[in-house]
Structure 1
């Protein structure tokens, strides 16, 4: 689910152009391919091989799966009224690492013995259904994005190894974990620290990542802890698990020396062929491709893969009648189905993440390892509830060792006031990714201010422009007028992005940077630019910039930006034409400076100035603004820094 850009998919996701890997993105493209490629059953779980009298079930495999839990260790709210209002007794009524661990154990017990555990109550685990015959086994998997920067993860960074997130995941007793994009948000070294918390007990799988350029990760690869695939033995059966990671990794995270290969089908098929030669006839693909439609588009090119678990997209898949967290709505059924290159039907499943649901995919195989079907009744997401008939009592170990210390850490952040604001500050996701907002202005100003404060110390010119990508503003809410706390700044700016100064940005590059920001307008996109030190106008009827999402290369320059004027009156673009003049010093975050969100800054020299963008915001509020956000300086709706003239 996208670090600092539009890749995090819990809400509407930006559709992108086809990649060299052959992934076809977007539901319309997938639907159009259905007739020729064999996609079936996109709206229900009824598609799948039926079990007839001459197809005896030899092995029932329950795959318990999770993905994109993203440090939501303390649980989530539930909107029981469906009106967007959270009642006081609903707060954190769903999810949470401790409830999740307890439910996971219940589901594992039921899958192995064919009946609910003695401690089971309500309908969360059993609804009167029966499992099919033959041997039973359980496979426990994560699709990756096991942590995400923010106030809860900051507790892990303060604690050190083992991270609280590692403790929570380890408690589930996983057989393998995929590798997502958020694993690299803090760079490869922090990911290595996360892996260290497992003491070598958990394999991390991705067949299309080359970690040899990062010493700490290479050490884990040498020990086969990071690997292309793994084999899990269950009741005498061997199950292969292959991993894939999004080819967009370099533009949505900070993998540094980690290389990502984009021939996904070729790589997965080669790995599956090797497993098959070893006699392994049950193979699961854990695929972190940022959108379940990408997995659906990949399946027609696969061979020897029995089921696919997607991750990164945040979709809610569930059949009618399956209990969901209040406010959640199913997009399609669970699982989805697609037909592979050999004409075999393959179930494709995912969960929305945040410790809200345990995915339960029940697969039935014959004695030759052929997938007969998925159990329509038992295959579903099981919500993690703390109230009502399906309530889950928290796992006491996880509550004591994870939730309680993390809650104490977060509470300490919530009590530290850094400013008083005269005006509500708009950080709603769709707004900061599509238009100027006063919170976007505030954060862009904070970057420029921090760059200026640190310029002499780091030997760079004071920046005259500040750029903050909308996807890096993460609170997805309006901060009411009144107190602004340290916790608010973490919610707004949760990533480990460091403020950098790019001292020499050519004027045409600055123009194309802003073109990148408004390329998707009027649709929302994480690449949208919130700006400081300049104002600009754009015409949405003009040519939008087109880029290669994997490499960031500009395929077609944009022509939407019509005018750019610096705060000192310097004209950079007039009537759509760049005005000759010196390069411009820009403050931004290091993710953007490295070409994240396909910003055209990759390759330009930049200097980090020793502070994160969260700390820049905190310090700007306390020092730069002397603890006061004035309505006249940051009016609701912005002050006209960004204007559409079409």
Structure 2
């Protein structure tokens, strides 16, 4: 019997099966960025390729575009479909955004406002972006205008796009949507579903653009996160019903832990989650990093189980045009499902001559964006208003081991936090001041301090607000809120307050709402002792910013009964900082010198600081006794006796 035909048939069938299962599999490359926040010039912020600041040779929107273009070309040459995704916070108020308002007020093709950040987005050609919180910092009208000229589809499944005429128009035109469907070169549909942080009303200014998906102001953040899960699942299911074979959730939830611990474990039929808002640097151990950077999360991607047992790839991409994330996937040609992760990496954006991965910036963006913004910033940078004898810490702060975490304005007292709070108190002429850590955006190096530095540190249009009578109970309530999300491990939260005019001792091992042990004014007056407001303690005057006064970062001043002055003429907190630095010493300012003796580096382990976590730096018994004596008025009594003697 001749078996050759049977063998040939079997071989043909095997080849056919192999060809169907692998030869037609598609490669998909995701190039992703997030939290660009108008860092258009460099990773330093104001300076570009300046020998005095090595970090100024890294980052920059033109160099980021070159890195993305190189990665895209390589992937395309390998036969892979490439999608470019933006995880939100594409711009940030401050001097670099101000350059757009000064120079581009009628520059767009319709004769209206354009943005340097949007010019870059259009040139790079993002396939989708998600609304972060900073898109709404200047209100819904600016957010809508930016989305309209961004050249991409802006996404969010939990924002009401029918709330304003501008957003309704964008929704009708398909420029904003809950999700979008992209198509691979092989014809497969890939859904990208957007999710915006439920913290938005408290940390930005969305105005009439309210949140959907079961959001209520009475809920905690965790409750609102859980409430939106079923709504996001509904959008995923809708996209699948329209033929989506692969689903990417692009979420801007402020912390990748929210995606890892809350969102992904409750979702089904999701392949990739791209996280934004947290600034985490997720990278493999062999990825090149910008000097001074460290991995916040080691391993790219992170694999997390969904509700259906599916492995979901979680990625995030740092901030400030410093890195480009690349995730390579294989898609089954029949089902469209992700069958493999072919590789991933975090691509450093370098312009440093000594680096092998150095790139030349995109020439169009160098001319159209970097040069005009640099010229605008150059004027601010040239205006020196003082000098600092020390480096001023405006970092966010990164959690770690108790006592050895990275201290920043969102988790500990810092010298820059003290400076800003002092400037606020100076501007308001009050007893005390508080400044939410989330409103302080970067550090200042030792040396000359310029107007540009003050804008970088305090970029928002926050106005100084004062209240003339705050009692001890109200002050304790606001400081309890400040430290409610703090921990001995340095958990960072924008509500954490930098303070002036007082010393606050708290204990992060105690229950939330009962953490503040003592509050003592600079003149020795004790307002809170042993966790209780001192009976008969005098009221104090307070300065803060209008953002927190209106309830931002969850500060419930109205519920606490704090009445703010109805001032019509006031200044921004940036102006307050500038004036504090430049005002003469006789006027209560610094006379142009930020001294090391006054603003030396703060240490969370120092129990003599303004903000003391007793879990890290136990307060000595002598200090407790002094507070008790002060509360009883005995310190002043004995001081008078000594003076009389």
**Are 2:149 and 1:181 equivalent residues in the alignment?**
no
1:358–1:384 CA contact under 8 A, matched in 2: yes
Distance 2:275 2:508 in 1: 36
Gaps of 5+ in 1: 1-50, 79-85, 115-130, 453-462, 547-556
**Are 2:189 and 1:225 equivalent residues in the alignment?**
no
1:211–1:257 CA contact under 8 A, matched in 2: no
1:410 aligned partner: 377
1:564 aligned partner: 520
2:392–2:601 CA contact under 8 A, matched in 1: no
Distance 1:324 1:222 in 2: 42
Query: By how many angstroms is 1:270 displaced?
Result: 0.5
Distance 1:233 1:539 in 2: 54
2:392–2:443 CA contact under 8 A, matched in 1: no
Query: By how many angstroms is 1:438 displaced?
Result: 4.7
Q: Which of 154, 174, 178 pairs up with 2:98?
A: 154
2:419 aligned partner: 442
1:68–1:354 CA contact under 8 A, matched in 2: yes
Alignment of 1:323-338 (within 5 A): 323-330=288-295, 331-338=297-304
2:518–2:526 CA contact under 8 A, matched in 1: no
1:619 aligned partner: 579
1:436–1:637 CA contact under 8 A, matched in 2: no
Distance 2:171 2:248 in 1: 21
**Are 2:14 and 1:58 equivalent residues in the alignment?**
no
**Are 2:392 and 1:392 equivalent residues in the alignment?**
no
Distance 1:484 1:88 in 2: 14
Query: By how many angstroms is 1:96 displaced?
Result: 1.3
2:433 aligned partner: 466
- Corresponding residue SS for 1:467: strand
1:246 aligned partner: 197
- CA change 1:171–1:572 in 2 (3 A) is same
- Corresponding residue SS for 2:464: strand
Between structure 1 and structure 2, the one with the greater Rg is: 2
Q: Alpha carbon RMSD of aligned pairs, Å? A: 3.2
Distance 2:207 2:428 in 1: 23
Query: By how many angstroms is 1:234 displaced?
Result: 3.3
Query: By how many angstroms is 1:293 displaced?
Result: 2.8
Deviations 1:425-477 (A, max 9, x none): 5545525445545543332232233334xxxxxxxxxx443211233233334
1:13 aligned partner: none
Alignment of 1:326-365 (within 5 A): 326-330=291-295, 331-365=297-331
Query: By how many angstroms is 1:631 displaced?
Result: 4.6
Query: By how many angstroms is 1:91 displaced?
Result: 4.4
2:235 aligned partner: 271
1:598 aligned partner: 554
**Are 2:123 and 1:144 equivalent residues in the alignment?**
no
Distance 1:52 1:294 in 2: 40
Distance 2:31 2:293 in 1: 21
Alignment of 1:457-536 (within 5 A): 463-477=430-444, 479-480=445-446, 483-503=448-468, 505-519=470-484, 520=486, 522-524=488-490, 525=492, 526-532=494-500, 534-536=501-503
- Corresponding residue SS for 1:362: strand
Paired positions, count: 541
1:339–1:345 CA contact under 8 A, matched in 2: yes
Gaps of 5+ in 2: 1-16, 106-112, 216-223, 397-406, 603-607, 621-645
Distance 2:83 2:388 in 1: 51
Work out which structure has the larger RCO, using CA pairs closer than 8 Å and 6 or more positions apart in sequence: 1
Farther-moved stretch of structure 1 (271-280 vs 379-388) = 379-388
- Corresponding residue SS for 2:275: strand
Query: By how many angstroms is 1:605 displaced?
Result: 5.0
1:434–1:523 CA contact under 8 A, matched in 2: no
1:310 aligned partner: 275
2:110 aligned partner: none
- CA change 1:239–1:537 in 2 (3 A) is closer
Query: By how many angstroms is 1:618 displaced?
Result: 1.2
- Corresponding residue SS for 1:251: helix
Query: By how many angstroms is 1:407 displaced?
Result: 1.2
Query: By how many angstroms is 1:368 displaced?
Result: 2.8
TM-score, normalised with respect to structure 2: 0.76
- CA change 1:620–1:59 in 2 (3 A) is same
- CA change 1:92–1:527 in 2 (3 A) is same
Distance 2:460 2:489 in 1: 24
1:58–1:366 CA contact under 8 A, matched in 2: yes
2:399 aligned partner: none
Deviations 1:397-425 (A, max 9, x none): 10001011111122211111223557765
2:44–2:53 CA contact under 8 A, matched in 1: no
1:211–1:217 CA contact under 8 A, matched in 2: yes
Deviations 1:515-555 (A, max 9, x none): 233442545444333323x32342527734x3xxxxxxxxx
- Corresponding residue SS for 1:95: coil
1:587 aligned partner: 543
1:324–1:383 CA contact under 8 A, matched in 2: yes
- CA change 1:225–1:503 in 2 (3 A) is farther
Query: By how many angstroms is 1:213 displaced?
Result: 3.9
Query: By how many angstroms is 1:206 displaced?
Result: 0.6
2:146 aligned partner: 194
